[in-house]
Structure 1
Amino acid sequence: MDTRLRASASNNTLNSQSSRHRRSALAGSPRSGANSRPPSVAPVITHSQVLESSGAIQSREQLYDILNKDDDQEDMDYMSGAWRQQRDGDTDNELRDNSSFYLTKPRPEFLSRSSNRSSRRSSSESSTVNANSDIELNSRPSRAAKLGGEGISSSNVSAAPSVSEKRATMYENSAFHGEYAELTLKTEKSAWLRSKNRTTRKWKSICCAVGIVALIAAVSGIVLGFVLRKGKVDGLAPPHDPENPTSTIPPITHFTPDPNLRKAFYGVAYNPAKSLMPWCGVTLQAVIDDLILISQITNRVRLYGMDCQQADLTFQAIKALGLKMEVVLTLWVDKDPVTIQRQHDTLFNVLDAHGTDMLTGVSVGNEALFRKDMDLATLGNLMATVRSELIARYNKAIPVFTSEIGSNMDSSLAAVSDMLQGNLHPYFSGTSAQMAANWTLAEYESKIAEYPVSSGLKGVISEIGWPTAPASAVYLNGAVPGLANMQTLVDSFVCQANAAGIPYYWFEFRDEPWKVNPEVPVEPYWGIFDKDAKLKIKIPNCIAP
């Protein structure tokens, strides 16, 4: 084979020179000008000639190994140095100009695509090959001495390799192994990324599941909150255990009297904010703050229930402030026997704790007949039971009665009551504010005083008042809500009733915004004070008995 190769190389020397010049022109070498070195002449062996001369060579890789005595380990020896030399300024063009063309060991296809550096070098080699019709197979000049001992003389190949040629060889070998190392790194990184992606997907799934559960919980909470808060507005509190103390902070009881206030009212209806089940939240300090104002306009209060410690806190506040006030307690009555029993038990617990000195009466129910929560016979029996227990427990005759609207006042109700107490509201009669005082006094005479009770006690107007809003809620074309109309009733009724000795409870101490009712839009706006405890009217210049 060596003889055939030498003969073929001798016959094609001129073709090699021509091909080299064509390649230089096509590659656009920057050294092709006047300062460029003439290209070295090296023997050229075309691939087609080798294949025609011998059928023993099966592949380009085998030919490379025969011509170059290739040893991959030897290539590794050049690796680190070649990279440093390439880094210090050698370029691909310089390497091509300083070295003869040589056979490049075939690489797997995936390695040739592993980096941009490899692609650039492949492009340069491709342009070199395209300059000749056949692939040129040149042995490395650095292997000439070794090949000479096996039949290929150094004159047929090339002279001793130059420094640039050695660099080219080292670059080639180091590039190959460097690309393989890069591929290995990328493969390892891909495995790591795959593992990380699996972990990421796992956490994403967990986060999605947690998010869905949280969303369901949030929606459920909103729905539950809406159900629990149905009908609840400002003034009500979250659910609260009424048996637990509401405050451990010492209350503030010192206050400076307001010169705009005077005790002109016989009594005032009082319902502490946040004292409706199940939204209990009233505190002792809140009740004290209310009673500081109430005590400056009256000596009497009437409550509407026993829930949420409102009666207990009222007694505590009166004692804390050192007041001399009279209290009417109400045992709230509705259709639920549980409610009635709870109210009953709480009533006697409060009286056991505070005594009966401040208690001037117990109202069993408020407008229960009007709402049809209980009939008169059942209501009469309940009043009799409470009356008997009061006498048995405290050995004291405390008046027991109920509060009803004027149209339910009659002799039958008087027969089961210690006194008659009527809620007389000129607004709901459709009376104008200018005529409201006269209408109320007339109703008292015809609906309460007309039906004497066995105890001989004088009847009481348990509610009288006027709403201040909304102005559009005109009742029967005559009763118009408004501050001015409320002031008219106060000025015309309060001092007149005081002078006549007619007992009454003004409805009410303070606006109650939690009483929102679209059917009766005036419900929240009956207070002498607004919801923020600001005085809404001018207090009349008279003093109640």
Structure 2
Amino acid sequence: MKLFSAAAALLAAVPFTQAYWKGFNVAAENPDGSCKTQAQWVSAFQKLASLPGHFTSVRLYASSDCNTLALAVPAAISTGTQLLVGVWTQDDAHFKREKDALESAIKRYGQDWIIAISVGSEDLYRKEVSAGTLATKIYDVRGMVRAMGVKKDVGHVDTWTAWVDSANTEVIKASDFIGLDAYPYFEGSSIENASNAFWSAINKVRGVVDKVSPGKWVWVTETGWPVSGPNYGNGVASIKNAQTFWKQIACAAFKQIHIFWYVHQDYQASPSFGVIDRNGKAIYDQQSC
């Protein structure tokens, strides 16, 4: 695949021998709003592993909601899947439940199933918390898991516009990794310019991170293109464009960055980014790379 100049520049900065996580975002809720059972987690993980790319890495959004970790962790262990764990930070009571659920899962299952831990998701973009408060919660979760002997990276997930905002540098300093949600569609990009927009977002964040905390990695924690839904500027939702975005981005990105595609399944949403339909069939080809 031909790499755009921005992608080539990023590739030159990392060793070719580096292995990267590649996976999908998977929600704790089924498309009808019900919570996944352990068997349904197993089914979701098995389906992703059966795709051409054999995906065995999954990003979760929360720890306690829908008993996510209590059900997803044993399912992950039984299927050889590893998890990027999410911890929601909104309101102190919810944050405590999330920490308790993570602590319980580690006590019961150890840490080998953990890829990393994300404290919060797009909190800065939504302006729901100050950078200082969010940084404190990142330190809090890291302190808890380190005391349990867990040495996995602890970071945060947000949009590129949040990461390049100088008001949020405390969160970059607090994070072991920088989780980036990158959606050219929501920027109103045409599919023809989507690859340039995607790599541009990564390079903008990388530039800021290198100044604030040199050496920290930027992960893409969400990206994708909707298969259906309204137009967003020049962004047109369609199966054809979703397939094109995959071909433009996925195979190149898998060789350069840790990346989690959005999303496993959401066929009742609009726009819908789901790659698996209600019958468990792939909506477009997730070709192997």
Q: State the TM-score, normalizing by the size of structure 1.
A: 0.45
Q: 2:89–2:137: 8 Å Cα contact kept in structure 1?
A: no
Q: Tell me what 1:414 maps to.
A: 172
Q: Tell me what 2:198 maps to.
A: 440
2:41 is equivalent to residue 287 of structure 1: yes
Q: 1:448–1:460: 8 Å Cα contact kept in structure 2?
A: no
What is the alpha-carbon distance in structure 1 between the residues aligned to residue 48 and residue 175 of structure 2?
28
Q: Tell me what 2:17 maps to.
A: none
Deviation by residue 1:39-84 (Cα, 9 ceiling, x = unmatched)? xxxxxxxxxxxxxxxxxxxxxxxxxxxxxxxxxxxxxxxxxxxxxx
Deviation by residue 1:403-460 (Cα, 9 ceiling, x = unmatched)? 0011011360321211111101000111111221221112111123541374834210
Deviation by residue 1:208-243 (Cα, 9 ceiling, x = unmatched)? xxxxxxxxxxxxxxxxxxxxxxxxxxxxxxxxxxxx
What is the alpha-carbon distance in structure 2 between the residues aligned to residue 510 and residue 531 of structure 1?
8
Q: Tell me what 2:209 maps to.
A: 451
In structure 2, do the counterparts of structure 1 residues 280 and 530 end up closer, same or farther at CA, with 3 Å as the change threshold? Answer: closer
Q: Tell me what 2:9 maps to.
A: none
- Report the secondary structure of 1:403's partner residue: strand
Q: Tell me what 2:27 maps to.
A: 271
Q: 2:226–2:273: 8 Å Cα contact kept in structure 1?
A: yes
- Report the secondary structure of 1:390's partner residue: helix
What is the alpha-carbon distance in structure 1 between the residues aligned to residue 123 and residue 159 of structure 2?
10
Q: Tell me what 2:137 maps to.
A: 382
Q: Tell me what 1:531 maps to.
A: 278
Residue correspondence of structure 1 range 303-318 to structure 2 within 5 A: 303-306=60-63, 307-318=65-76
CA positional deviation for 1:481? 0.5
What is the alpha-carbon distance in structure 1 between the residues aligned to residue 111 and residue 214 of structure 2?
19
CA positional deviation for 1:373? 2.0
Q: 2:160–2:182: 8 Å Cα contact kept in structure 1?
A: yes
- Report the secondary structure of 1:311's partner residue: helix
2:245 is equivalent to residue 486 of structure 1: no
Paired AA for residue 531 in structure 1: R
What is the alpha-carbon distance in structure 1 between the residues aligned to residue 35 and residue 174 of structure 2?
36
What is the alpha-carbon distance in structure 1 between the residues aligned to residue 153 and residue 77 of structure 2?
23
CA positional deviation for 1:280? 5.8
Q: Tell me what 2:6 maps to.
A: none
- Report the secondary structure of 2:222's partner residue: strand
Q: Tell me what 2:96 maps to.
A: 341
In structure 2, do the counterparts of structure 1 residues 285 and 527 end up closer, same or farther at CA, with 3 Å as the change threshold? Answer: same
CA positional deviation for 1:397? 2.1
What is the alpha-carbon distance in structure 1 between the residues aligned to residue 214 and residue 204 of structure 2?
19
CA positional deviation for 1:348? 0.7
- Report the secondary structure of 2:177's partner residue: coil
Residue correspondence of structure 1 range 317-328 to structure 2 within 5 A: 317-321=75-79, 323=80, 325-328=81-84
Paired AA for residue 276 in structure 2: F
Residue correspondence of structure 1 range 173-192 to structure 2 within 5 A: none
Q: 2:31–2:265: 8 Å Cα contact kept in structure 1?
A: no
Q: Alignment identity in percent? A: 23
Q: Tell me what 1:357 maps to.
A: 112
Residue correspondence of structure 1 range 128-527 to structure 2 within 5 A: 266-274=22-30, 281-296=35-50, 297-306=54-63, 307-321=65-79, 323=80, 325-334=81-90, 336-394=91-149, 396-410=150-164, 412=169, 413-448=171-206, 450-452=208-210, 454=213, 456-470=215-229, 473-476=230-233, 478-499=234-255, 501-511=256-266, 513=268, 521-522=270-271, 525-527=272-274
Q: 2:59–2:85: 8 Å Cα contact kept in structure 1?
A: yes
What is the alpha-carbon distance in structure 1 between the residues aligned to residue 77 and residue 277 of structure 2?
26
What is the alpha-carbon distance in structure 2 between the residues aligned to residue 484 and residue 445 of structure 1?
27
CA positional deviation for 1:528? 1.2
Q: Tell me what 1:97 maps to.
A: none
What is the alpha-carbon distance in structure 1 between the residues aligned to residue 152 and residue 176 of structure 2?
9
Paired AA for residue 73 in structure 2: F
Give the number of the structure whose residues are more often strand, by fraction: 2
The unaligned stretches of length 5 or more in structure 2 are 1-19
Q: 1:268–1:301: 8 Å Cα contact kept in structure 2?
A: yes
- Report the secondary structure of 1:537's partner residue: coil
- Report the secondary structure of 1:267's partner residue: strand
CA positional deviation for 1:531? 3.3
What is the alpha-carbon distance in structure 2 between the residues aligned to residue 454 and residue 403 of structure 1?
16
Q: 2:24–2:264: 8 Å Cα contact kept in structure 1?
A: yes
- Report the secondary structure of 2:217's partner residue: coil
In structure 2, do the counterparts of structure 1 residues 265 and 503 end up closer, same or farther at CA, with 3 Å as the change threshold? Answer: closer
What is the alpha-carbon distance in structure 2 between the residues aligned to residue 455 and residue 270 of structure 1?
31
| Pairs aligned (count) | 261
What is the alpha-carbon distance in structure 1 between the residues aligned to residue 118 and residue 182 of structure 2?
16
What is the alpha-carbon distance in structure 1 between the residues aligned to residue 34 and residue 62 of structure 2?
12
Q: Tell me what 2:15 maps to.
A: none
The unaligned stretches of length 5 or more in structure 1 are 1-263, 516-520
In structure 2, do the counterparts of structure 1 residues 266 and 529 end up closer, same or farther at CA, with 3 Å as the change threshold? Answer: same
